[in-house]
Every structure is written in structure tokens, then in C-alpha cells.
Structure 1
Amino acid sequence: MDKINLTIFTPTYNRGYILKNCYESLCRQINKNFIWLIVDDGSTDNTEELVNTWIKENRIKIVYIKQKNAGKHVAHNTGVLNCNTEMFVCVDSDDYLTDDAVKVIYDNWGYIKLNNSLAGMIALRGHNHQEALGTRMPKGINKCKISDLYQKYGFKGDTMMVFKTDILKRNLFPVFEGEKFVTEAVIYDKIDQNYEMMLLDKILYICEYLEDGYSRNIQEVHRKNPIGYIYFLTQRIEFAKNRSERYRAVANYLAGCWSVKYKHPIKNSNYKMLCILAFPKAIYIYIKRSIKIFFMKLKFWFD
């Protein structure tokens, strides 16, 4: 077998009831030259028993680490720090890969590896193998920053990102005592400062959002983890490229502070005057988000 250059990382917490879907998809890979690194964030279900059974089956190479429950971002740090391959991709416990995903990653990695301006690759997520979870990649663009994909080229939806491990090791998640969530955008924004990503207009990752997942409960997650959320909003202000972008970031900061009941957002900001100027925009953003969340909850109740 060739040298293993890819780690497929899965953070999990009490997902024993569905983790098998991810496992079976990895066992179906055309190219099995990878390590499946599972970081169990303190599960109390049968996850450990299941994984030990799969390790004994020896169908794929599995490394299992169990830690005290600390949140997905801490599990991600644990995964990155225990990764010994040059590529790292996160596949959530309720999702799975297309059968050719590993092969496609290897097919494209040579170009990425030799390009020092690239941090990795962005591919598509899908509801299934044919239907993308959002738009397709912009035509005629084969690389760009993560933020530019959305803001400049109008991409909508979620993606799968494969990173150079050494870059992730230099950009770990911040950890705040008593909090168990920091958005992945904190890391993406940091990487954006120095690198671009290769774009691949192909679905490699099949995604399903469950009722117990972060995505469906993001407002409540932010309220329970306000320090990490404010850190993200503040970092967005610091990374703004121009006055217009900083104005929007400050407005979003204020609206975010109000949503998590963070006290004295203007007093605690380094941009007090800009906060005052952005106040009307922040009110608009806060009201618009509140209305959107209300109708999302209404739809959920009636579905």
C-alpha cells in the first residue's frame, strides 16, 4: 500500500445510532489509503463499543480517541494535533462520503501540495450524489479565498474542505473556559488571511442535518457560548479589508451582542465611533434575523 497521506476526522458525541452510515461509506471507498480518526467527545451511548467492533473487523484503518466532553472545536483541536498525515478533512458523524471521494482527493492533491499559496481544496456537499446542497462552483474560477467564494462569487450552501494539516496545526481553535462551541468560521477567517483554496465542482460529501445538530439550533448554541461568539464577531471586524466591510462587521457585531445579551458591546469595542454610526444598520440586521428565526421555528413546529 502507498503511504497514507489522508486523515478523515470525525468528531462525535452520542451518535452511535447513526455513525454506521459514515463507517460504511468509508468501507466502500475506491481508494482506502486513509486513516479514520474518531474523536469521541465524551459519549455516554454505545459509540466506544461500536468503534471497537469496527477496529476488530479491520476493513479500514481506525484510530479512536475519547476525551472529556468539551465541544466539537476542542475535539477538532485534538484531531489536528494527533494527525500524522499531510491532509486532513472533517466528516461529521451524521454525514458520509461518496464512494470515490478519497480517490478524487488524491487525484487533485499533487497540484495543491506543490502550490504554497493553497491551504487545501473545497468540494461540494450534496443532499445526494446529484443534488448539490446549494449552488455549483463559479465557472472559470479554480481557486480563491474561502470568503471570496461566498462574498465575491455568490456561492451559497455548505462545502467539504480538505486542508494541509500543517496549516491547521498553526490555526487551532481558541478555547474558552465553560464554553463548548466556537464556529468553524474563526479558523477559516484566519486561514483566509494568507491562503486560497482550490475549487472542485464535484459532490464528494453527503449531508443530513439532524434535529440534535448545531445547525438547527445555532441561535441557542450562540447564547450558551457567548464568549466564543463575540470572539468570532470581533475577529471579523479586525480582518475587514476596507471601511465598508468593517462597517458591516461592526453592525453584525452589535446585532450579535444583542442576540446573546452581551452587556456593554459599544464600551467593550475598539471601534466605539463606528459602533455608533453602524447602530441603525445593526437594528435592521437584528430585526431581520429575529423575524427569520421566528418563521424557521414556525415552519419546524408545523412540519
Structure 2
Amino acid sequence: MNDAQLTIFTPTYNRGYIIKNCYESLCQQTNKDFYWLIVDDGSTDNTEELVESWKRENKLNITYIKQENSGKHVAHNTGVLNCKTDVFVCVDSDDYLTEDAVSVIYNQWEKINSNHSLAGMIALKGYANGKPTGTRMPSGINQCKMFDLYQKYGFKGDAIIILRTEVLRKNLFPVFDGEKFVTEAVVYDKIDQEYEVLLVDRLLYICDYLEDGYSRNILKVHRASPKGYMFFLSERINYAKSLTDRYKAISYFLAGRWRVKHKQPIEYLDYKILYLLAIPKAIIIFIKPIIKNLLIKFGVFK
């Protein structure tokens, strides 16, 4: 055990029907030395009553904050700014942790305390049957940037990311008027410019993809928040380290514009020739999910 303390942050919105799974998994942790910080994004169901009943049970140290409905990214900012511990991890209200997750986080954090190049750690998410959502962590690599984990080392699937609170305070989500979603990658990309993360090849987080979740409705979510989505894609262009990476980022930027039907003028024209060259690749990126959905619809593959 080290001196660092952990906050488990849970943003929630009308998840009273399922957040109990998260609560019970926290009650079952082999190490209960943590705080549970819940930020309710304006729920209209029984979430507040449930949380109050759990606080009376006194099994966990719970802080509950209710805000006006503003989106998960704003709830995340609220959580970070109200966090009183050194370590911060987000666990969604429809997911839960393995019983040893907190113990593993503390054990691994000893490697992070003495290494100021690390912002935190990244471990595996998986399903209730114990299988990861994607691949295992790459062998022979102890730490790297989050972007490189996927793009350079070929990691696939979702991951749980545990970070220093001080790093998150310096990298809050941008907020756009009238929009309620900004992808987490905006924050992680920014953190990548200065830090790496420790790779932990352990399954710590159990998830499901519900019909009312972001993952199942990502296109609809992006179309409802185009400024945030285009900001993410434009930042990827700015962060690109090579001509090849910038070409790829511009291709996704163009395809993203078409996908969310974003009609505002393109402001990022520092690479005019690359924009022209990227159009064919952007077309492929744009039509690929359309073709896939059609094939699924007609039963060609599932």
C-alpha cells in the first residue's frame, strides 16, 4: 500500500434500474480504501433515493453531487474538480469492477508514484464471462502513450484508465454551448502530449453495451454534438507527428464531417494539398460502415 488514495467516479443519468450492480461490486472489493463519487447528470428517476439509501447503509464512503443535465463530459469535469484524492478512475453506472480491482490499482500505483513520466495506468475491460473486449496488452511493453497503444502496438478493445487527479485537473473536457457530448479521447490525446501510461494486463472492469448507451448510439450522439466531434478530429490533425499520421487524421476529419453532416467552413487549411489528397481515403472511411450495416441488414454477416 502507498500513500495515494483512490476516488472511483461514476457519472449517471437515469440509470436507477442498473446502477445497483456497480454499487454491489464496490461493496465486494477486497480493498475498500476508496471514495465513491457519484455525479448525477440531472436524473429524473429514483437514482437520488437509491444513493441516499446506500449512504445510510454506510458500507462505502459516498459523495453524491447532482447537476443540471449537461452531458457526461461536464459531469466528468465536476467529478475531477470535486475529487479530494490523488488517483481518479471512472466507472460508468451500467458497469462494475472485478473484486480485486482496487487492490490491483493500489499495487500497481507503487510503480507510478516514483515515475513522473507516467500519468497513470491502463488495464483491460471485459465481459461477465471473463473475456476481454479485445486483445491482451502487448507483450514486452511496460509503458507507452495511449494513442501508440492502439495505433503502434495494435491493441484493440476498450480499457479502463486510472489517472493522477492532478493531470486530469490540467486537462478538463472542453464544453460547447448546446452540446452534451465530447469523446474521452479529447482528454487522453492531450495527456499523451506530455505523459505515458503503465500497461497492466489484468481485467479489472466488467462492461455491457446497453441499448441506451453511448456506444450503441455513437453516430446519433456525434450528430447531436458536431462541434465537440469536429474539435476532436481537428485536434488529431494538430497532434500528428508525421506526414503519414497527418494524412490519416485529415482523412478521418473529412469523413467525420460528412458523417455528422457538418456544414461549417473548414478552418484548418494549413495543409491544403493533404486535404485534397485525403479525399479518396476519406470516401472509403465514410462508406465502409454504411456497407457493413447494409450487409448486416441483409444477413450477409452478423
Q: Name the TM-score, length of structure 2 as normaliser.
A: 0.95
Amino acid at match of 1:34: F
Map of 2:166 onto structure 1: 166
Cα offset, 1:284, TM superposition: 1.3
| 8 Å contact kept, 1:226–1:262 | yes
Q: Secondary structure at the match of 1:171?
A: coil
Judge conservation of contact 1:266–1:272 (CA < 8 Å) in 2. Answer: no
Residues 135-176 of structure 1 show CA distances to partners (whole Å, capped at 9, x for unaligned) of 001111111110111111111100001000000000000000
* Structure-2 residue corresponding to 1:249: 249
- Partner residue of 1:153? 153
Any stretches of 5+ residues in structure 2 without a counterpart? none
Alignment of 1:261-300 (within 5 A): 261-263=261-263, 265-266=265-266, 269-295=269-295, 298=297
State the alpha-carbon separation in 2 of the partners of residues 200 and 119 from structure 1.
Answer: 14
- Indicate the percent of aligned positions where both proteins have the same amino acid: 65
Report Cα offsets for 1:224-264 as digits up to 9, x if no partner: 10000000000000000100000010011000001111125
Per the TM alignment, residue 279 of structure 1 is displaced from its structure 2 partner at its CA by: 1.1
For 1:196-215, what aligned pairs fall within 5 Å after superposition?
196-215=196-215
For residues 130 and 179 of structure 2, what CA distance do their matches in structure 1 show?
A: 38
Tell whether 2:13 aligns with 1:18: no
The question of whether the paired residues in 2 share the 8 Å contact of 1:101 and 1:205 is answered with yes
Let me know the Cα RMSD of the aligned residues: 1.9
For 1:100, the equivalent position in structure 2 comes to 100
1:41 — aligned with what? 41
d(CA) in 1 for partners of 2:298 and 2:34? 41
1:91-113 residue CA offsets vs partner (Å, 9 max, x unmatched): 00000000110011011111101
Verify: 1:112 aligned to 2:121, yes or no: no
Aligned to 2:175: 175
By how many angstroms is 1:277 displaced?
Answer: 1.6
Q: Aligned in 2, Cα 1:299/1:236: closer, same or farther, shift over 3 Å?
A: farther
For structure 1, the 5+ residue unaligned runs are none
> Is contact 1:254–1:265 with CA below 8 Å preserved after alignment?
no
> Which shifted more, 172-181 or 147-156?
147-156
Please list every run of at least 4 consecutive aligned residues from structure 1 whose deviation after the TM superposition is greater than 6 angstroms.
Answer: 1-4
Within 2, Cα distance between the matches of 1:3 and 1:240?
37
**1:123 touches 1:201 (CA, 8 Å); kept in 2?**
yes
| Secondary structure in 2 matching 1:278 | helix
Kept in 2: contact 1:4–1:34 (CA 8 A) = no
**Per-residue deviation, 1:130:** 2.6
The offset of 1:268, in angstroms, is 5.5
Deviates more, 1:102-111 or 1:71-80: 102-111
| Worse overlay, 263-272 or 173-182 | 263-272
Aligned to 1:27: 27
Contact 2:143 2:198 (C-alpha < 8 Å) held by counterparts: yes
